Structure formats: C-alpha cells, structure tokens
Structure 1
Amino acid sequence: MGNVTVNSSSMNCTIDHTIHQTLAPVVYITVLVVGFPANCLSLYFGYLQIKARNELGVYLCNLTVADLLYICSLPFWLQYVLQHDNWLYGDLSCQVCGILLYENIYISVGFLCCISIDRYLAVAHPFRFHQFRTLKAAVSISVVIWAKELLASAYFLLHKEVVEDGNQHRVCFEHYPLQPWQRGINYYRFLVGFLFPLCLLLAAYRGILRAVHRSHGTQKSRKDQIQRLVLSTMVIFLACFLPYHVLLLVRSLWESSCQFAKGIFNAYHFSLLLTSFNCVADPVLYCFVSETTHRDLARLRAACWAFLTCSRTGGPREAYPLGAPEASTGKNEEPELLRKLHSTFQTPTSPGGAGSPTARLA
C-alpha cells in the first residue's frame, strides 16, 4: 500500500508511503480546522496593532499571512495523500504548493526572529535603537524577508517536481534519493534559513531573561510567569522546526542510496508534519496569551452575542452587555506574550504614564 517508485538517473527507488495515508490526513485536517480561524483572528488583532502605530503588528500580520497561505495549500496536499500520492493538478500547481509548504517554514522563522529581537531591544535597550522600532522599519524588514524567500523559491521553479511512479501516479515534490541540485539548496536552508535565525532568537531571549533578572522591583511571580512564557516559546519553536532541519541535514550529507532513503523516510516525513503545527502555535503564543487580546476577544464575543440576541428578539439591544470588557485602543498595546514584561522596567520616578519614556516600550 502506498509504494512509490521514483526514477532517477542511476536507480529505481521504491519506498512505502503509508505514513502519507495514515498520519498526514489527521495532521492536515487538524491544522485546517484549528489554524485557519485562529490565524484569521490573529490577523485581525495584528491589524488593530498597526492602526495603533505598533510595529509588532506588522510582524504579526506578516507571520499570519505566511501561515494562511500555507493553510490554503493544505486541501491540495490532503487530496494528494488521500489519492495515494497522486497529484491530480498541473506541474506548476505542484511547484507552487510545494513552495508554500517549505518556504512557510523560513518565513515563519524570519518573523519570529524579528519579533524576538524587537522585544529584546524594547526591554534591554529601551532608550537606544529607536529607529529600528518604527512602522517604517518593520515594513522594510518585512519586504526584505519576503524577497529573500521568494528568490530562494524561484530556484525550485527551474526543476521538474512532478514525476511518475511505477503505478502511473504523479508524485509531487519528492525525489529519492536526493538529486545533486537539492543538496546545495538544503545547505542554504539549514544554515541561512534556520541556524542563523535560531542563534539570533536564542541570543534575544537570553538577553530578555537577563534583563528580567536584573529588575529588582519585579515580583517573583511575575518573573516566573515571564520566564515560563519565554521558555515555552523556545520549546515550541524547537519542537516544530529542529527535528525537520536535523533530518534535512542528515539526508543532504549522507543520502546517496535507495536503502538510506528507505530507512529515514518515515522519520523525515514525521518531522515535516511537525512543522505544520507552527501554524497553530503562532497565534497561540503571540496573540491569544496577552491581556490586551483577551479584552479584544471578549469584546468581539460580546458583539457577536449581542448581534445574535438582537436577531432573535428582533429589537435593538445594547452593543455590549453589562460587565463586558471594553476595547483597549492604546498605542502601547502589543498582540504578543511579552507585553507584561515592559511594566517591570518602570522605575518609581517613571510610572509609565503617557509622558514617561517607559511608556514607549510597547
């Protein structure tokens, strides 16, 4: 079941693709059902932050757009695996869906890195590097990240990504063993797309934690909460992306035979499925855990409830029920998990009011 024979210049390689028909559909459906509405809400809250002139909203919106583009390709991949790895569409659609699948990883890594560095600068250097924490700078950096990944993606358009197996199935974006041209791009993806941003991410979070420890006016419970949030972010980041890139490097270094490709196939594709959960983790970590977003979400829920109640009764009702949280519409709002951290750096002489320098941290 699910055997695929891929022709190369040197040999025929038959690999059991059963994992594609069993585990992959469960993962894709889960990410579709959970990730699509979550990222739509995340996009809305990111838009609110841009309106509030908060540069974090730019990074959050770009991160969410990348996730949504990948999620939109999942129905095609779902049909592909349910058809026993038979691509029913054209060659160009295979290349586009493959690019959305793989490049989403590096776009996500890039914007997660931007968010982390922005928080580090706000916490550890609140009075310096202000020029890097503006809407204009965030937009410019976002354009560079997208351009870099689109140029890297164009490399795949130069190669044929649809081949026929022994059962006349059209296999999409799969070559076993690796083709020679794939090794170079894989080294680039590992070193530039993953390892370098990961080092920046680790350095930024290390600086954030050190800044928290140096804050003598912060309660221990608040420090513990900040550290848990920071560490949980790193754990999820590493869980989603580290296994895939380790196995990608292993394949690029040592996969030269069909036997090796068979031995690593299931582990490699399991790690590739793990990267899909980043689309669910992004809005959870960087949007739904902040108090600001909780209030906005409560307001949205109250408005929907008021609309439904009005529709049932046919009469006007209050826009917000008694006790519903009011919307927070300040420039200092942040749609991500480290908003609380800024208040820990307010000194007794600078209470963080509208006129204090600390208030600009957000």
Structure 2
Amino acid sequence: MDPTAVPLNQTNSNLSDSACIKNDWVDGHMYLAAYSLFFIVGFPANCLSLYVAWVLMRKGNNLAVYLVNLSISDLLYTVSLPVWIELALGRPVGDTFCSLVSVVMYNSFYIGSGLLCCISVDRYLAVVYPLYFNWVRQVRTAVAVCAALWCVELSIHIYLLHQKGALQDFSARRLCKEGMPMAQADAHVALTRVVLGFLLPLLIMTFCFHQIVLALRDSTSLLARERRKVSLLLLLLLVTYVVAFGPFQAVMFLRGVLEPGECSMAVKLRDPYMVLVAWTTLNSMLDPIFYCLISQSAKNEMTKVLQRCNRCSSQLKKYHSFKVIDLF
C-alpha cells in the first residue's frame, strides 16, 4: 500500500465488484494543479536550503547535517512530483520506473519524520543536558546517525515490500498504483506504518519539546521573551508536523481497519485519501522555513544568498540597460 497516488479505475485483481471502480476529478484536476504548484515552489526552495545547510555543515554545525539530509529527502520527494503529474494526465510511465519513483517518494516521506526526531533529540540534549553528551552533538556522530537512519528506513521498506509479495516482481508491479479495495496484507502494512512512521516519531518529538520547554522555564540565563519565543517555535514545529501528516495518517488508519474486502468503504475513503496525499506535500515546502526558525546561522546564510542573488540581478539589469543605450 502506497501513500502517493491512486490510479483511476484500479481494482483489486481478486475482486470484480464494479462498485470499486470510481472515476474522480481529483486524479486529473486536483493532482495536476497541486503538484505543479508544489514543484514550482518546492524545488528552488529546497535547493536553497540544501546549499545553506551544506555551508553550515562545512563550518562544523552538527545540526546542519540533519538539515542537509532533510533537504535531500525533500528534494527527492519534490523531483518525483512530475511523474505523478504525468500519471494524472494519463500519460504512460514504465512499470519499473513507476515502482522506483514510488519507493523513492515513500522513503522520503518517512525519512523526513525520522530526521525531525533526530533534530528534536539533538536540541533536547543540547538544552536539557548542556554539559553532557557532547559526543552526540559532534558532526561525525550526526553523519553516522543519518547514515543509520537511511539504512534502517530502506531495510524496513524492503521488508514490507517483501511481506506484500511486491519485491519478487518489482519490475512487473506498478507500485505507484494500488488496488481498490485494499488487500488484507496491505492493511497490515498500513497500520504498521502509521504506528512506526507517524505515532512513534510524534511521541518522541512531543517528549523532547516538552522537556525543552520545562528546562527553558527553569532557566535563569534567558529572558522571559526569549523563552516564550523558543517555546512558541517548538509548538509551531510540532503543530505543523501534526497538521501536515496527521489527517493523512488518520485516513490510512481507517483504510487499514475498515477497507479490506469492502468496496463500498473503499469508495467512501478514496476522495479524502487522495486529497490528503497531496496535502502532505506541503511539508516539503515548509521545511526550508523551519531551517530559518530553528537556526539563526541558517537564517543568516539564507540572507547572504538572497543578497547575492539581488546583486546579480541588479548587475544583469544594468548590463542590459547599457546594451540598449549602445543600440541607440
């Protein structure tokens, strides 16, 4: 079961109930408009954030290591959007390529959750235990953690594909498409992903943010205004994560519990599912904003990049104006 795209007229091969076949404007209209917008905005924004995070990582900032990986994850997610646009337009996409893009997009989805957990734990240790765990806040430790996270996520995804029987015929099955209604094996995988891919990271982030807020409240080295600013920032990050992914995960849970073998339920849940799949893409556009909020260094570097771009733009305008004068 895949959270990315559901095709038109796709039915479970074991069922022939025509009630499971549903044509919908979401596929050909909403996906086309939403994913086009997300790609136009998200691609340059994440390229900028990747550059800034890379510069900070080269300066020895361990938090930037997580931001580099988060930027890569968001970019992988973003560059897969044109494929979903092609599918929405009804254009052919090869089975192997379709499956590969689905895996890339799906892994990016959960890698992002894992990296947000890493950032939460890093900030938790830095604020609550500033005199301890210095080795955890080193660049090489962050690199090792990110490498382990990618390996674990890929391993889990490969295992789940194996459990579904999709790994054996990877090139023959279009993993970017799924059947209606959901098969029982897919339902088990969906519930596992809701628990491990959303609820567990949410619990970790909630715990870390709560402990950070308590530590800041008892701190005498920070002004009350600064404590409120940090607390509001942490609340914003947590709320944004819940808003971006919570509704989708809730529908996934309902599908896993109610849909297997039930065509009528599959049809009822399909439209909310399709809309909320596109809704999760907002996260890839919001992450670059978080970089500025989480780190003042990231904000400063982004400001420098934008200033250089403005200077280059001004110079190009002057150059073209001189050319026009020369013509006369």
TM-based fold match above 0.5: yes
Q: Distance in 2 between matches of 1:174 and 1:81?
A: 15
Q: Which has the higher helix share?
A: 2
Q: Which has the higher strand share?
A: 1
8 Å Cα contact 1:162-1:173 kept in structure 2: no
8 Å Cα contact 1:121-1:129 kept in structure 2: yes
- Is residue 2:270 matched to residue 1:260? no
Amino acid at match of 1:102: Y
Give the match for residue 226 of structure 2.
Answer: 222
- Is residue 2:282 matched to residue 1:277? yes
8 Å Cα contact 1:106-1:149 kept in structure 2: yes
Change (3 A) 1:310 1:9: closer
Change (3 A) 1:136 1:176: same
Instruction: Say which of 66, 76, 79 aligns to 1:69.
Output: 76
Bigger drift between 61-70 and 286-295 goes to: 286-295
Instruction: Say which of 104, 107, 115 aligns to 1:111.
Output: 115
How far 1:290 sits from its partner (Å)? 4.4
Bigger drift between 99-108 and 74-83 goes to: 99-108
Percent sequence identity is: 29
State the superposition RMSD in angstroms. 2.3
How far 1:124 sits from its partner (Å)? 0.5
How far 1:305 sits from its partner (Å)? 3.5
- Is residue 2:238 matched to residue 1:234? yes
- Is residue 2:308 matched to residue 1:303? yes
Instruction: Say which of 88, 95, 102 aligns to 1:98.
Output: 102
**CA deviation profile, 1:129-174 (whole Å, cap 9, x unmatched):** 12221112111111111112222333243356977xxxxxx89422
Give the secondary structure class of the aligned counterpart of 1:278. helix
Extract unaligned runs of 5+ from structure 1: 164-169, 315-362
Q: How does 1:107-256 map to 2 (within 5 A)?
A: 107-154=111-158, 155=161, 156-158=166-168, 172-255=176-259, 256=261
Q: Distance in 2 between matches of 1:303 and 1:74?
A: 29
Bigger drift between 154-163 and 217-226 goes to: 154-163
Amino acid at match of 2:285: V
Give the secondary structure class of the aligned counterpart of 2:21. strand
Bigger drift between 8-17 and 91-100 goes to: 8-17
- Is residue 2:65 matched to residue 1:55? no
**CA deviation profile, 1:245-279 (whole Å, cap 9, x unmatched):** 11111111121211010011111122211111110
Extract unaligned runs of 5+ from structure 2: 1-6, 320-328
Change (3 A) 1:299 1:5: closer
8 Å Cα contact 1:162-1:172 kept in structure 2: no
Amino acid at match of 1:48: V
Amino acid at match of 1:274: W
TM-score normalized by structure 2? 0.85
8 Å Cα contact 2:251-2:273 kept in structure 1: yes
Give the secondary structure class of the aligned counterpart of 1:287. helix
TM-score normalized by structure 1? 0.78
Q: Distance in 1 between matches of 2:22 and 2:118?
A: 39
**CA deviation profile, 1:197-223 (whole Å, cap 9, x unmatched):** 111111010011111111134322222
Between 1 and 2, higher relative CO (CA 8 Å, sep ≥ 6) is seen in 2
Give the secondary structure class of the aligned counterpart of 2:22. strand
